[in-house]
């Protein structure tokens, strides 16, 4: 049987934590930043965790 391939887009966007949760980056922080407040831009720098409802799909994409 051939091996399952990891989704190359997913491996660039998500990372697994030590406890098995999935880290992600925030959107809306690449351009058109002048109209966004400094507080909003600071919040977008921080990483977040994906929602529990999406964990199953993302883990399936990350499976090797």
Residue-wise pLDDT for 2-29, tens only, equals 888 999 999 999 999 999 999 999 999 9
Are 42 and 51 a contacting pair, CB within 8 Å? no
Domain boundaries, the chain: 6-60
Q: Would you say how long the chain is, in residues?
A: 64
DSSP for residue 25: -
Question: Is the whole model's pTM more than 0.85, yes or no?
Answer: no
CA 25 vs CA 1, 3, 13, 63: distances in Å: 35, 28, 7, 20
Cα–Cα distance for residue pair 38/2, rounded to 1 Å: 49
Closest by CA to 60, choosing from 6, 3, 1, is 6
Instruction: Given CATH 4.10.410.60, say whether it is the number of domain 6-60.
Output: yes
């Amino acid at each position: 049987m051939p091996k399952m391939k990891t989704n190359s887009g997913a491996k660039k966007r998500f990372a697994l934590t030590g406890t098995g949760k999935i880290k992600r980056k925030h959107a809306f922080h690449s351009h058109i930043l002048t109209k966004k407040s400094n507080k909003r831009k600071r919040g977008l720098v921080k990483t977040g965790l994906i929602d529990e409802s999406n964990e199953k799909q993302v883990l399936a994409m990350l499976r090797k």
